[in-house]
A and B are shown apart, each in its own frame.
Chain A
Amino acid sequence: MTLDFFTDIAFLAGAIAFVWGLRLLSSPDTARRGNIIAGLGMGIAILAAMFQPMGTVPNNYLWIVGGMVVGGIAGWISARKVQMTAMPQMVSIFNGLGGACAVVLASAELYYFYDGQTALSMGELLILYLALLIGAVAFTGSMLAFAKLQGLVNDRKVTLPYHNILNLIMLAVLLGLTVYALMQGKAFGFNMAMLILALGLIYGFSFVAPIGGADMPVVISLLNSFSGLSAASAGFAYDSRIMIVGGILVGASGTILTILMCEAMNRSLLNVLIGGFGSSGKAGPAGAAGDQVAKEVSLTDAAIQLFYSNSVVIVPGYGLAVAQAQMVVKELDALLEANGVNVKYGIHPVAGRMPGHMNVLLAEADIPYDKLLDLDAANEALAQADIAVVVGANDVVNPAAETDPSSPIYGMPVLQVWKAKNVIVLKRSMNPGYAGIQNPLFFMDNTRMLFGDAKDTLNKLVQEIKNM
């Protein structure tokens, strides 16, 4: 029995743990165990990589352990400290770092090749360039996504005129240069390889730049799948099966989420990537709004309506996250439930800025997940509900998606809040949402508006109900 045997078994165990862990992660009752199993698999794989026999090599264990301690502590602390409302940003950063790691590996290997220390076939060279480019796009793309989510840059201020055409040209140049590099072999030179890297990094920024707001969940899922694919390519280069398995699984899960997000908006991926809704044909349904007046409701009336209803469906949107109002929502929920009101939540798949954003926020406020209804279940509940309370959501409750073929969001599945007997919309002002689309919901007969900051308004509602 050699050490080889044990490390190979360990890698196999790690790969199985990844698959098994992801399987468990897809069901609410087992998800936590799934994450722990995948984490253990990673631990085993890292140990195996450290002791896998490689002939006589210097090992440099001190450097390796040092790096792991630094990275481990940094990662663990930021994971513990981050606020739940900042979760999309955190996930973006971690994702970007994985991509950056693949870039570092590919750069090192390319350096050895052009320096004459190693010989590579064209296929092996192609794999290194794939790891380099996909990793670069995942890295800078995620960093820009982070900056956007954190509010450091404005969605609209980072685009250039003809941005999509520029992006296409850049992509074509990148691919052309890469093909040229493959044909040139060693003559291409390391400096040119770094030029490709630089272009790839710029492309990552540029590719995410025009995408923002409600399209964020799509781009985050897509970047997630990229970081997986870059890890898998690096795995090919290092002949490491576990890297291939891990990377491809991530690529698959990112792809599935991307598809789900696109379906939830009834748009193709291409449509999301070039030209968000804001820029294309927003003038469509303008006529509807002009002469109509939205009806307001007083806090007291809203409180009375809620108090005497039998069933309430709350529909949260990004505005809830911005106002950090999840705890007050829970308070309102508890108060109403104590008075015999049945409270549920209608969650649209693309509400918020990452897949499942609303679920995480409401879970933080201790709201049990069985009260959170997905699109179909929520629409059933809404048809029976006395009151629908819309908190900081707009496009996902827009009836124009069903009724107005000229609307840019026509065809997108929405939460049919208007089917409830009454609708109360909590909103900061009458400004249209991210997409810049007028929402006829606000002018419907059974809709009442409650203007103000969501958290503030909810707090006052809670007070009113307490005083009854």
Chain B
Amino acid sequence: METIMSFFEENLEMIYLLAFTILLGFEVISKVPTVLHTPLMSGANAISGVVIIGAILLMRRAAPDDYLTLTLGFIGIVLGMVNVAGGFAVTDRMLEMFKKKKKNA
């Protein structure tokens, strides 16, 4: 119990952020038309690549001769970057198709 309380107190700001972001997320996304289900999923997926930030921080702290960390960080950055670049690019490609010409009849 004590650990829970101290964890809560120490991370209060993050917990606030967590709670409000959950509410905000549901509020912002709640009414998506079917047309956009795939792009929304794939765009959100690209955003989950934000985990690359962690990999960058990990890498910046690594000692230049700490090859274990350097390797792990490198793998993390590659994985995260594929997710980010691929995710946004693929979403853009899909949305580009949606954009094209309205009804011509």
Residues of A that sit less than 8 Å from B by CB:
18-19, 21-23, 25-28, 31-32, 34-36, 38-39, 42, 45-46, 49-50, 52, 54, 57-60, 63-64, 66-68, 70-76, 78-80, 82, 84, 87, 90-91, 94-95, 97-98, 100-102, 104-105, 107-109, 111, 121-124, 220-221, 224, 227-228, 230-232, 234-257, 260, 337, 347, 349, 354-357, 359-360, 363-364, 366, 368-372, 374
List chain A residues, Cβ under 8 A from B53: 45-46, 49, 235, 238, 240, 242-243
What does the 1/0 interface line of B81-101 toward A look like (CB < 8 Å)? 111111111111111111111
* 25 A-B residue pairings within 8 Å (CB atoms): A26-B28, A28-B36, A35-B92, A42-B47, A46-B52, A58-B62, A58-B64, A60-B64, A63-B70, A68-B77, A71-B79, A79-B90, A94-B45, A94-B86, A97-B80, A98-B49, A101-B76, A121-B7, A232-B18, A243-B53, A244-B14, A247-B50, A260-B32, A349-B37, A359-B35
B54–A71 touching, CB < 8 Å: no
List chain A residues, Cβ under 8 A from B45: 91, 94-95, 98, 224, 227, 250
Q: State the CA gap A243–B6 with chains docked (Å).
A: 23
List chain B residues, Cβ under 8 A from A68: 77, 81
Given contacts A87-B38, A245-B21, contact A105 B54 (CB under 8 A): yes
B18–A248 touching, CB < 8 Å: yes
List chain B residues, Cβ under 8 A from A100: 79
For residue B48, give the distance in angstroms from its CB to the closest CB of chain A.
Answer: 4
* Contact with B47, one of A73, A111, A246 (Cβ below 8 angstroms): A246
Q: State the CA gap A70–B80 with chains docked (Å).
A: 11
Q: State the CA gap A70–B73 with chains docked (Å).
A: 13
Name 9 extra pairs, CB < 8 A, besides A36-B92, A38-B88, A254-B44: A42-B49, A49-B53, A71-B79, A90-B90, A230-B48, A241-B17, A248-B18, A349-B34, A355-B37
Residues of B that sit less than 8 Å from A by CB:
3-4, 6-7, 10-11, 14, 17-18, 21-22, 24-26, 28-64, 68-70, 72-103, 105
Given contacts A98-B51, A241-B17, A242-B53, contact A74 B38 (CB under 8 A): no
* Contact with A356, one of B34, B70, B97 (Cβ below 8 angstroms): B34
Q: State the CA gap A24–B91 with chains docked (Å).
A: 13
Q: State the CA gap A196–B31 with chains docked (Å).
A: 38
- Identify the interface centre among A38, A337, A360: most chain B CB within 10 Å of its CB: A360
List chain A residues, Cβ under 8 A from B91: 35
List chain B residues, Cβ under 8 A from A84: 94, 97
* Contact with A58, one of B6, B7, B63 (Cβ below 8 angstroms): B63
Q: State the CA gap A101–B62 with chains docked (Å).
A: 17
Q: Which residue of B lies closest to A17 (CB)?
A: B47
For residue B49, give the distance in angstroms from its CB to the closest CB of chain A.
Answer: 5
A122–B60 touching, CB < 8 Å: no
A26–B7 touching, CB < 8 Å: no
B17–A245 touching, CB < 8 Å: yes
B54–A237 touching, CB < 8 Å: yes
- Identify the interface centre among A76, A105, A123, A241: most chain B CB within 10 Å of its CB: A105
A72–B85 touching, CB < 8 Å: yes
Main secondary structure of the interface of B (DSSP, over half): helix
B21–A248 touching, CB < 8 Å: yes
List chain A residues, Cβ under 8 A from B43: 21-22, 25, 34-35, 38
Q: State the CA gap A237–B45 with chains docked (Å).
A: 21
Q: Which residue of A lies closest to B70 (CB)?
A: A63
For residue B76, give the distance in angstroms from its CB to the closest CB of chain A.
Answer: 4
- Closest 4 CB pairs between A and B? A71-B81, A252-B25, A356-B37, A75-B86
A108–B69 touching, CB < 8 Å: yes
* Contact with A59, one of B32, B60, B80 (Cβ below 8 angstroms): B60
List chain B residues, Cβ under 8 A from A27: 33, 36
Q: State the CA gap A27–B79 with chains docked (Å).
A: 30
For residue B60, give the distance in angstroms from its CB to the closest CB of chain A.
Answer: 5
For residue A74, give the distance in angstroms from its CB to the closest CB of chain B.
Answer: 5
A66–B60 touching, CB < 8 Å: no
Q: Which residue of A lies closest to B24 (CB)?
A: A19
Q: State the CA gap A28–B100 with chains docked (Å).
A: 11
- Identify the interface centre among A32, A54, A228: most chain B CB within 10 Å of its CB: A32
Q: Which residue of A lies closest to B51 (CB)?
A: A231
List chain B residues, Cβ under 8 A from A355: 34, 37-38, 41
A104–B75 touching, CB < 8 Å: yes
Q: State the CA gap A368–B60 with chains docked (Å).
A: 48
A64–B102 touching, CB < 8 Å: no
* Contact with B48, one of A39, A71, A98, A105 (Cβ below 8 angstroms): A98
Q: State the CA gap A371–B35 with chains docked (Å).
A: 11
Q: State the CA gap A221–B63 with chains docked (Å).
A: 39
* Contact with A45, one of B32, B50, B94, B100 (Cβ below 8 angstroms): B50
List chain A residues, Cβ under 8 A from B57: 49, 52, 54, 238, 240
For residue A61, give the distance in angstroms from its CB to the closest CB of chain B.
Answer: 8
* Contact with B90, one of A38, A91, A221, A374 (Cβ below 8 angstroms): A91
List chain B residues, Cβ under 8 A from A60: 59-60, 62, 64, 70, 73
Q: State the CA gap A389–B103 with chains docked (Å).
A: 21
A354–B82 touching, CB < 8 Å: no
